[in-house]
Amino acid sequence: MTEPARSKAFPPEAPLSRQFSTIGAGLAGGLLFTFLNVPAGAMSGAMAAVAIAGSFAPAWIVGLGTRLRYLAMLTSGVSIGASVTPETVRNIVTYPASVTGMIVCVFCMTAASTLVSIRFSRWDRTTAVLAAVPGAMGFVLSAVMTTGANAPRVVTVQMMRVFFLICLLPLAIAETGASVTIGAARISDPLWLFLVECAIGACAGLLLTRWKVVGGMFLGAMLVSGFFHVVEVAHGRAPLPVFILGQVLIGSWTGSRFSGFDWSQFLREAPSMLVAILVSVVISAGFAFSASTLLGLPFGVTFLAYSPGGMEAMTVLAMALGLDPFYVAAHHLARFFMLNIGLPLTLNYWIGAKAK
């Protein structure tokens, strides 16, 4: 792992030995939360453990390299694709109406959170908008550098939103009684078949990544595995240890962003940030409840689809909670493309209005 600097696909990254310390902390937290029967505990526990370790011992916690991130997305994608059922296919007809509702929800969440930050926290327009945008943290953080926004505030809000969602959403959804266990009685696919799905899924994922599709490796693996199960080439689920590994890696990857995190900044901004995040979550829950009622879908799955989190994390949560991961992934992918188009226009409007 000391050679990736020579490759454009795998840029320079921390030595593998240091990445293993991050994964070790994540594995310990994931196993602890799983032992405590926390819903989706492998991912939320890994994220919490790595975030805490990164705060107290930042020298030991580094971000996962490209290869390990690809492994996380590949194993998670193949595992999620194996959950395809006839009900999953039938639910596709609800996507257009549900995605339309999600688009309105994103507008309302962003507008309300922005208004709270401007009126009550006295943040400037650009900072408030970028902090309020849900579920596109990578894109938002790249925009911060070119707009003159208050970067520490934006970064803190975006990171804490992810932290709260991954830790608290599983508990909230489990309390509704919406989660069930998908595939608990199904046997695992043969190892050779699982490896074939991984190989083809990796090829599809690399192709989508080359085409700049967000979460390309994750989507490619999920679609290939889903196709294998739809045409009944494969009938079982991915090996459970593999799915748990994927959860731990994604949780560790998310938690590593908190390495060296400025908690004093968080404490100073906590009241403003928590109110803005709470407003977003309450609005998404309201829209999710409406979609659930109108479309006859479980509240848990619409809540994850409408929540202001990232695609990979929310989709893995759906799978871990026994909900339809394809429905969730479709909504987060649609939101990402919508934000890519709408966010630059919104920023131009806000910045122009501020200059007047």
Residue 69, pLDDT > 60, answer: yes
Rounded (10°) CA dihedral 50, 55, 59, 65? 40
Residue 225, pLDDT > 80, answer: yes
Looking at residue 180, what is its pLDDT? 43
Looking at residue 44, what is its pLDDT? 92
Looking at residue 130, what is its pLDDT? 86
Q: What residue type is assigned to position 34 of the chain?
A: T
Q: How far apart are CA 1 and CA 16, in angstroms?
A: 6
Sign of CA dihedral 346, 349, 353, 356: positive
Extract the tokens encoding 87. Answer: 């009900």
Confidence label for 237 from pLDDT (cuts 50, 70 and 90): confident
127 vs 221, more confident: 221
pLDDT digits (tens, 9 = 90+) for 279-324: 999 999 999 999 999 999 889 999 999 998 888 889 999 888 888 8
pTM score of the predicted model: 0.83
Confidence label for 353 from pLDDT (cuts 50, 70 and 90): low
Q: How far apart are CA 78 and CA 238, in angstroms?
A: 7
State the first-to-last Cα distance of the chain, in angstroms, to the nearest integer.
52
Mean pLDDT (the chain, rounded): 84
134 vs 147, more confident: 134
Residue 150, pLDDT > 80, answer: yes
Residue 256, pLDDT > 60, answer: yes
Looking at residue 177, what is its pLDDT? 57
Task: Show the DSSP H helices in 231-324 as ranges.
Answer: 240-255, 263-295, 299-306, 311-320
Looking at residue 3, what is its pLDDT? 36
